[in-house]
Structure 1
Amino acid sequence: MRDFRDAKAMAQTLRDALKAKSISVSHSESLELVAKTLGFHDWNVLSAAIQSSQPAAAKSPPALSFNGGTVIPVAPMRDIVFFPQLISPMFVGREKTRRAVESAAANDGRIVVITQRRAEDDDPDFDALYSVGVVADIMNRVELPNGNQKVRVSCGKRVAVVRPAEADFLAAEVVPLEEVRALDTQAFALTSEIFEAYRSSTNTVPPQSLYRYAGEPGVLADVVVQLLEIGVEKMQQALEIRDVVARLETILGWMRAGAPAKAS
């Protein structure tokens, strides 16, 4: 019997079966259907599970040095989505999150930052979090007069939760989500359209700080989306798009539909 590691073959079988009934679906749509049928949140998470299940000898060296079975502490965030390249403070008040930060700081300094689905949830479990976040390095911590901590982090790669780990705080096994089409010709063409859309929406010239990312379309997309007032759900949607061309097209669509950008 097939298991989740046969997902791509299952998706192709599904496409062929639907095509025989004159129902057309794309390969990506069939992958998403198979992921949900197998009980996974989406293809990103299923793909991460497949990668994690492969024998170590069959894997390519990961971009991040996640060792099999390593527990990565997780910090849930309310009303904010962290992106790669971002250096930002996060404010920690909940005891479980404080323990996660302390565990991370006592080890290699890495913590996974994931946004909550509902900001009002004071004690979220993994069902209450999105499945994709970023891995971040703790730069420093400061105790505030109100008893909370201000933790400055430097965000790295997108990661997907493969499975929760047992601890007295939120922790999980995660795998990196590598970008695709990051250097595609179409991605570079879309950067020019992003600059023009920014100019149209703000009636100002894009700040020089944006132009430094003209040669890195994926980074540009992540920086620009943080300048848009589009809400947490769309920000999370952008975070979960691994395909840089698709991410740029999505952000461009929001800008052209009237999503306000903050003028710098």
Structure 2
Amino acid sequence: MRDFRDAKAMAQTLSEALAAKSVSLSHSESLELIAKVLGARDWNVLAARIQASQRANLSGAPVQIAAPSDQATLPIFPMRDLVLFPQMVTAIFVARDKTRRAVQHAVTGDRRVLVVAQKDGADNDPGARECLHPVGVTASVINCQTQVDGVLKVSVSGLERAAITGLINGEFLAGEIAPIEEQRGQSEEAAALSHAVLDAYRIYANVDLSSLPLQQRARFGLPSADNPGLLADTVAQLLSIGLEQEQQLLETGDVVVRLAKILDLMNAGRPEETDRRRQHR
């Protein structure tokens, strides 16, 4: 079945079908018509969405992006040294003026933002698509507090994966985003891998989780194997891996593939002590 990624082929088919009935329609007009049929504002918006899907798929796992009607425009928080995952609660320290304005805009609205890692941590103004990773996480701003040094401390709670389909670089950075739907989250393979991940994490972190009741496992920040997607994202946050590897896990919408990658990472070695310095974002 064709979807939005086949838009160009659909436009060509439409143009040829109309030509057979002596109806003249240029290729660009066909593209605009197909874009509207698929729910996008125009061809430029749909083309950006197609590019986001292609870039997200570079992680090697299929990504299911929601329909255009589910898209939204949110303020963007570009991160120098953080990959946020769904259900992750963390503090972000904001010093850049654009991001401060993005915070102000968010708290006067529905408090939702898109938290996305920038490709170059030294970039002070990542205002172009190529400066940001294609997939981030929508998050809710819990509270804001100005520190003694003037830096704004913003607590956020991760919600869901989302692909960037367009950027608006104005007083603050905003993005047109589309939620990414998880795949195979309730499959038998995911269930089996979830138990394997829990067992592997016990060895990786030197914690005997098997002897603990489910209620006490929460102290280690681990959900049960009944929610494979949440388990994968929780363990991903606890691994001593680099930002690029974390980003690859974030971009993996297939839960089975994500769990398998996490198993491989844990089997590759024990964690090393890391000291992540706080960097202003």
Q: Please, what TM-score do these two structures have when normalized by structure 1?
A: 0.75
SS in 2 for 1:226: helix
Segments of 5+ residues of structure 1 without an aligned counterpart are 11-34, 57-61
The structure-2 alpha-carbon separation of the partners of 1:40 and 1:168, relative to structure 1 and needing over 3 Å to count, comes to farther
Which residue number corresponds to residue 185 of structure 2? Answer: 182
The structure-2 alpha-carbon separation of the partners of 1:203 and 1:139, relative to structure 1 and needing over 3 Å to count, comes to closer
* 2:225 counterpart of 1:222: no
The structure-2 alpha-carbon separation of the partners of 1:225 and 1:47, relative to structure 1 and needing over 3 Å to count, comes to closer
Which residue number corresponds to residue 41 of structure 2? Answer: none
Please state how far the C-alpha of 1:9 moved relative to its aligned partner.
Answer: 7.7
The structure-2 alpha-carbon separation of the partners of 1:83 and 1:122, relative to structure 1 and needing over 3 Å to count, comes to same
Decide which of 127, 130, 147 is 1:127's aligned counterpart: 130
User: What is the CA–CA distance in structure 2 between the aligned matches of 1:187 and 1:101, rounded to whole Å?
Assistant: 37
Which residue number corresponds to residue 99 of structure 2? Answer: 97
Segments of 5+ residues of structure 2 without an aligned counterpart are 11-49, 210-215, 274-281
1:40–1:46 CA contact under 8 A, matched in 2: no
User: What is the CA–CA distance in structure 1 between the aligned matches of 2:134 and 2:166, rounded to whole Å?
Assistant: 10
Q: How does 1:97-176 map to 2 (within 5 A)?
A: 97-125=99-127, 126-176=129-179
Q: Please, what TM-score do these two structures have when normalized by structure 2?
A: 0.71
SS in 1 for 2:77: strand
Which residue number corresponds to residue 16 of structure 1? Answer: none
Q: Deviations over 1:35-66 (max 9, x none)?
A: 77x99424489964x832xxx5xxxxx4xxx4
Matched residue type, 1:5: R
User: What is the CA–CA distance in structure 1 between the aligned matches of 2:252 and 2:235, rounded to whole Å?
Assistant: 14
Higher CA-based Rg: 2
Please state how far the C-alpha of 1:211 moved relative to its aligned partner.
Answer: 5.2
Q: Deviations over 1:154-190 (max 9, x none)?
A: 1101000011124211101101001010000111111
Matched residue type, 1:88: T
The structure-2 alpha-carbon separation of the partners of 1:240 and 1:151, relative to structure 1 and needing over 3 Å to count, comes to same
User: What is the CA–CA distance in structure 2 between the aligned matches of 1:261 and 1:208, rounded to whole Å?
Assistant: 22
The structure-2 alpha-carbon separation of the partners of 1:135 and 1:171, relative to structure 1 and needing over 3 Å to count, comes to same
SS in 1 for 2:235: helix
User: What is the CA–CA distance in structure 2 between the aligned matches of 1:250 and 1:46, rounded to whole Å?
Assistant: 16
1:218–1:244 CA contact under 8 A, matched in 2: yes
Percent same amino acid among aligned pairs? 41
1:164–1:173 CA contact under 8 A, matched in 2: yes
Which residue number corresponds to residue 202 of structure 1? Answer: 205
Structure 1 residue ranges (4+ consecutive) displaced by more than 3 angstroms after TM superposition? 2-5, 7-10, 42-48
SS in 1 for 2:182: coil
